[in-house]
Amino acid sequence: MSFALEVKEEIVKKEFDLICQKAFLCGFVKYNMTLNISNHYFNFEVSSISNAIIRTIYMFLKNLYHVEIDIIIMQTTKLKKHKTFILRIKERAAEILKDLNIFDADTNEKIITIPVDWSERQQRAYIAGIFVACGSVNSPETSNYHLEVQFIDEISAQTFRKLLHKFHFPFKIIMRHDKYVCYLKKSILVSDFLKLIDAINSVLVFENTRISRDMVNSINRLNNVEISNQQKAMKAGEEQAIMINYLLDHNLFDELNDNTRKIALLRVAYPDASLQDLSLLLESEHNLEISKSGVNHLFREIKKKYYENQK
């Protein structure tokens, strides 16, 4: 099961009172239904590949409207075989859609906006219904944080973005094929949106996975930096050893001062040692307290002497 489907199934397992059931249905049915209208026939259908989601929608419709509902199960024959569960509402269909603030059969128009007197709880339930109907979120296992909600018309996408702006979510809209996609990219925004729609367990999974992966990435970055620093130190040590051997071979070594000769001999003996290691070796073997920057200064003297005699 995908992470997005896990989120949706967690949402529908929450407790909804009748007011929030109605708001959730408004969001879900509005962006999931197939509407069938003719002169003497009016019904609508909703569908899902999740048994848990369709059972919740069935229960909400029964609780609110006490109507007969046809249940249809379709088996796909594609590579990823799964069942699609369909609810067909024929009885009082126009009345239900009007009461849910979805479709007005008198004007034959879909209703995009929500009532202005809805509470925050109702709005959150409505947003949750929309996400369950046409939303998706990437697994936190991936490095690409992405949550989106797809609409077939621009006015629905713009209305959704405006509603979510009230909750401080800066959704952006792009066209993908023939859909208008409202999306979030930042991990903190994705996490906060999951909190908004009460997918608390999914938030914990999301955050734990994200933190664990980010920690591993941070450790890897630190290791890469350390390896890079070691490689640079080794290269510098090899270059310094070449310079020191040149000075020895050309009888120029004794022109260095005493401390510089001592650090030079330590470098030849320990070609892979860091500046800090050499500083400690000076103290232990020669009772000289010279800092890492001081050791670096002595190597600059060696380098200067080497290049003076290369001219």
Are the CB atoms for 85 and 47 separated by under 8 Å?
yes
pLDDT one-digit tens code per residue, 169-183: 999 999 998 999 999
In degrees and rounded to multiples of 5, residue 130 shows phi and psi of: -65, -45
Short-list 129, 157, 92, 139, CA closest to 12: 129
Half-sphere exposure of 117 (CA within 13 A, CB side): 2
What per-residue confidence (pLDDT) applies to 217? Answer: 66
Q: What is the pLDDT of residues 21-47, one digit of tens each?
A: 999 999 999 999 998 876 667 889 999
Distances (CA, A) of 38 to 31, 33, 42, 44: 21, 16, 6, 12
Give pLDDT, residue 97. 92
Residues in the chain: 311
Tell me, what's the pLDDT at 40? Answer: 66
The pLDDT tens digits of the residues spanning 83-93 come to 899 999 988 99
Q: What is the pLDDT of residue 8?
A: 95
Q: In terms of C-beta distances under 8 Å and separation of at least 24 residues, what long-range contacts does 41-47 make, across chains too?
A: 42/90, 42/93, 42/94, 42/105, 43/88, 43/89, 43/90, 43/93, 44/88, 44/89, 44/93, 44/97, 45/86, 45/87, 45/88, 45/89, 46/86, 46/87, 46/89, 47/84, 47/85, 47/86, 47/87
Residues 49 and 151 sit within 8 Å (Cβ to Cβ)? no
Q: Which residues of 98-118 are buried (b: 16+ CB within 10 A; e: fewer)?
A: eebbbbeeeeeeebeebeeeb
Dist. CA 55–CA 51, nearest whole Å: 6
Q: Once rounded to an integer, what is the mean pLDDT over residues 234-248?
A: 82
Q: What is the pLDDT of residues 163-222, one digit of tens each?
A: 999 999 999 999 998 999 999 998 889 999 999 999 988 888 877 877 766 665 666 676
Q: Give the highest mean pLDDT range of 122-126, 213-217, 237-241, 269-273.
A: 122-126
Amino acid at 118: W
| Digit-coded pLDDT (tens) for 273-305 | 888 888 888 888 888 888 888 888 888 888 888
CB 84: neighbour CB atoms within 10 A? 14
107 or 21: whose pLDDT is higher?
21
Res 215: pLDDT: 64
State residue 294's pLDDT score: 86
Q: What residues does 48 pair with on adjacent strands?
A: 85
**Would you tell me which CATH number, out of the four given (3.40.50.300, 3.40.50.2000, 1.20.120.140, 3.10.28.10), belongs to the domain 3-198?**
3.10.28.10
Which pLDDT score, from 0 to 100, does residue 75 have? 80
Domain ranges of the chain: 3-198, 215-309
139 CB-near residues (< 8 Å, 6+ apart): 2, 3, 209
